[in-house]
Amino acid sequence: MAKLAAGEPDDHGVEWLTLADGTRATQRATSLAHLRRRATEKKWPEARSWCERRNLNKGYVLRKNGKPDPTPARAEKRTVSRFYQLKSGHALTGVYLKSVDNRPDDHCWWCDPDNNCGVQQTRDHLFKHCSRWEDQQAQLWARVKETTKRGKQKWRVGDLLADERCSPAVLDFLRSTYVGRAAPPVEENWDGDEEDEERAVAAAGVMREEEEEPAG
């Protein structure tokens, strides 16, 4: 009896059994589970490429393995919501609120409430430079360096939020600060009151959280 061997898939992805002399004999039987696995393996690279094109220059970094980070999934909703908002670039920061016309400027209301310095409230500022949270920042970056052997200056915030090893430290940082929470009402250059601020926050897609002191 002639020996059969599995050949490479053809242009349609069909694997054929071939005879020892190279003659194609018949299609190789393929299980449904195998077909599903091959479809999944083909789907994820295409999906990742699509996400990378859509998020170009927007600060969002995809995880390398494409799977969800399990650590935020186990955290409390009020903290993990800020985590994902910061990760996607849609958190309540000065830069984002100004970009959607919900604040007249993008300065940091935590360390420069009177806008004397004109410091932009970006993710990088809040995680690395804001003087209001410098003690919490020191704890965050000490834990990150201990875990990853990389110091603060070698991290972009987008990469920090995408790295599973850093998630516990980032979540604790958010629990101990107001980073990513609603801004106080603007008293100058703002034709509105507290209700206007609430409407602005709602329009940005998130609601103001309760105003208790952060842990830590």
Stretch (H or E) spanning 24: strand 24-27
Q: State mean pLDDT over 57-80.
A: 77
Lowest mean pLDDT among 27-31, 42-46, 84-88, 162-166: 27-31
61 DSSP 8-state letter? -
Q: What is the mean pLDDT of the chain?
A: 76
- pLDDT reported for residue 145: 97
- What DSSP string describes 136-183? HHHHHHHHHHHHHS--GGG--HHHHHH-GGGHHHHHHHHHTS-TTSPP
Share of the chain above pLDDT 70, in %: 60
- Give the phi and the psi of residue 30 in degrees, each rounded to 5: -125, 130
Per DSSP, the three-state class of 11 is coil
The residues near 182 (Cβ < 8 Å, ≥ 6 apart) are: 92, 197, 201, 206, 208, 209
| Residue 104 · residue 190 · CB < 8 Å | yes
- pLDDT reported for residue 114: 82
Q: State mean pLDDT over 23-33.
A: 59
**pLDDT of 79 over the 80 cut:** yes
Lowest mean pLDDT among 40-49, 56-65, 176-185: 56-65
16 vs 118, higher pLDDT: 118
What is the rounded distance in angstroms from the CA atom of residue 172 to the CA atom of residue 178? 12
Confidence of residue 117 (pLDDT cuts 50, 70, 90): confident
Q: pTM for this structure?
A: 0.63
